[in-house]
Amino acid sequence: MSTPSAPLPEPAVPYPPVRRPAARRTRHPAPAGLLPALALFVAVRAAGVVAVVVTSRLYGRPVTKNLAHSWDSNWYLHIATHGYGHLIWITPTGDVQTDWAFFPLYPTLVRAVTAVLPLSPGGAGLLIAWCAAVAAACGLYAIGHRLYGRAVATALVALWASLPHSVVLTLAYTEPLFAALAAWCLYAVLRERWLTAGVLAALAGLSRPHGIAAAVAVVAAAGYAAWRCRGRVPAGLWVGAVLAPLGWAGYVLWVGWRTGDLLHGYFRVQSAWSSRLDFGRGALRFLKALFLHGGGVVYPLALVVVAAGIVLFGLLCLERAPLPLVVFAGTLLLMVVAVSGPFASKPRFLLPAFPLLLPVALALVRTWRTARARALLLGGTLTAVSLAYGTFLAAVARQPL
């Protein structure tokens, strides 16, 4: 692959670092300050695991069930052990839910790990989720450091570790894997590593239904770069843009082929799980039911998290964040709001939308510089609430995560 010899009419880098002084550029393999930020992330999430274990024992519930065999984890682990097409569930309304609704990358990795390590499928699922969560934290730090420097990058990682639903990062779920692939995909886009971004986006598309958001971000960024440079871009840009949606599209078409309806089969499978594009009508019905009948703790907080995501997306746009970050977060947010489904799970779906935290990280760093005690109080309170609520979700509550 080669670049054209003629001079470009505009700068070749469409996403220059924002508020990042030139002196911060480095050739070191890891950005400065990564290890302390990573240690903070691991400490918070390890505390979350300990809290879930202790609470599970107090309530007399099996720890392995709460960590490795809760809700969707059972479906993924069954796929890893037996393959697709062997597990169905008939709902009280008569809908037939099948395992084709679950994307293949995570169960494939679980099967691969159990083939080489003496672990059960649940243990392998936890190992993959924990490693992916650490990899995702590194990706978040790399993005934050490139755009805003060390302080904001550390705040971004700390905030992500302390979200109310970050307990999912320590369970056998797919969000950590998707977040890791998406974070490093977006970092590759910011560095114009288009082929790498395309491959990672394709893998993200094989991890979750929401994985298409990474592909949309890559395609949008590639199109914008091509427009800025009037088409005078390296061939790798086009290759990456083509590769990006192949993982998601390939699985959707495979499910369609298996069901006998190539284009609509996958969406019919998802419809049996009450997941369909309704442009927010399901959310409005949920709001009406919530205000009329109440919803305990889980549902009101889920509403607060989704509403906060909408506000933070507006702030992210006002911050003039790089296009791929805005597109990725916006696509994920749109899928959460416009697609029906269990409202209690929507905050979990938003967990990989880490760019939404950038305005908060910037504000936290500004507060740290002017009122350090206040910043510590805010961070400590958020972490304590997150650990308590995450433990409640994983070890006590009966609502699906």
Q: What is the pLDDT of residue 93?
A: 67
User: What three-state secondary structure class fits 401?
Assistant: coil
Among the residue ranges 117-131, 238-252, 376-390, the one predicted with the least confidence is: 376-390
For 368-382, b where at least 16 C-beta lie within 10 A, e where not — what string?
beeeeeebeebbeeb
Q: Quickly state the pLDDT bin for 109 (edges 50, 70, 90).
A: very high
* Whether residue 19 has pLDDT greater than 70: no
CA nearest neighbour of 326 among 314, 338, 339, 341: 314
Calculate ∠ Cα 359-360-362, nearest 5°: 65
205: CB partners within 8 A, 6+ apart: 103, 211, 212, 214, 215, 244, 245, 246, 247, 248, 249, 250, 251
Q: What is the pLDDT of residue 295?
A: 67
Q: Quickly state the pLDDT bin for 229 (edges 50, 70, 90).
A: confident
pLDDT in tens, 125-157: 999 999 999 999 999 999 999 999 999 999 999
Q: Which amino acid is at 113?
A: V
* Six token digits for residue 154: 């550390």
Among the residue ranges 19-33, 42-56, 129-143, 354-368, the one predicted with the least confidence is: 19-33
Calculate ∠ Cα 375-377-380, nearest 5°: 105
Give the DSSP letter string of 39-101.
HHHHHHHHHHHHHHHHHHHHTT--HHHHHHSSTHHHHHHHHHHH-TTS-EEE-TT--EEEGGG
Residue 150 and residue 322: Cα distance in Å, rounded?
18
Q: Quickly state the pLDDT bin for 257 (edges 50, 70, 90).
A: very high
Judged on CB neighbours under 10 Å (0-12, 13-18, 19+), 291 is: exposed
Q: What is the pLDDT of residue 296?
A: 75
CB 194 within 8 A of CB 73: no
Pairing outcome for strands 96-98 and 88-90: antiparallel
CA nearest neighbour of 223 among 324, 326, 335, 356: 324
37: CB partners within 8 A, 6+ apart: 137, 141, 153, 154, 157, 158
Residue 194 and residue 198: Cα distance in Å, rounded?
6
Query: Which is higher by pLDDT, 149 or 343?
Result: 149
* Chain centroid to CA 247: 16
Portion of the chain with pLDDT greater than 70, in percent: 91
From residue 387, alpha-carbon distances to 108, 167, 170, 258 in Å are 30, 8, 12, 42
From residue 312, alpha-carbon distances to 124, 164, 322, 327 in Å are 35, 16, 15, 13
Query: Which is higher by pLDDT, 298 or 361?
Result: 361
Averaged pLDDT for residues 251-260: 93
User: What three-state secondary structure class fits 29?
Assistant: coil
Judged on CB neighbours under 10 Å (0-12, 13-18, 19+), 90 is: exposed
CB 347 within 8 A of CB 306: yes
Q: What is the pLDDT of residue 398?
A: 74
Q: What is the pLDDT of residue 1?
A: 39
Portion of the chain with pLDDT greater than 90, in percent: 56
From residue 328, alpha-carbon distances to 54, 344, 390 in Å are 37, 22, 25
Interhelix angle 358-370/298-318, nearest 10 degrees: 80
pLDDT in tens, 164-181: 889 999 899 999 999 999
* Whether residue 329 has pLDDT greater than 90: yes
* Whether residue 193 has pLDDT greater than 90: yes
Q: What is the pLDDT of residue 61?
A: 77
* Chain centroid to CA 225: 25
44: CB partners within 8 A, 6+ apart: 158, 161, 162, 166, 383, 386, 387
* Whether residue 17 has pLDDT greater than 50: no
Q: Quickly state the pLDDT bin for 4 (edges 50, 70, 90).
A: very low
Averaged pLDDT for residues 371-394: 88
* Chain centroid to CA 320: 21
Question: What's the chain's average pLDDT?
Answer: 86
Backbone angles phi, psi at 64, to 5 degrees: -60, -35
From residue 81, alpha-carbon distances to 23, 70, 76, 252 in Å are 51, 16, 9, 22
pLDDT in tens, 51-69: 988 988 888 777 777 788 8
Q: What is the pLDDT of residue 94?
A: 66
* Whether residue 16 has pLDDT greater than 50: no
Q: What is the pLDDT of residue 24?
A: 44
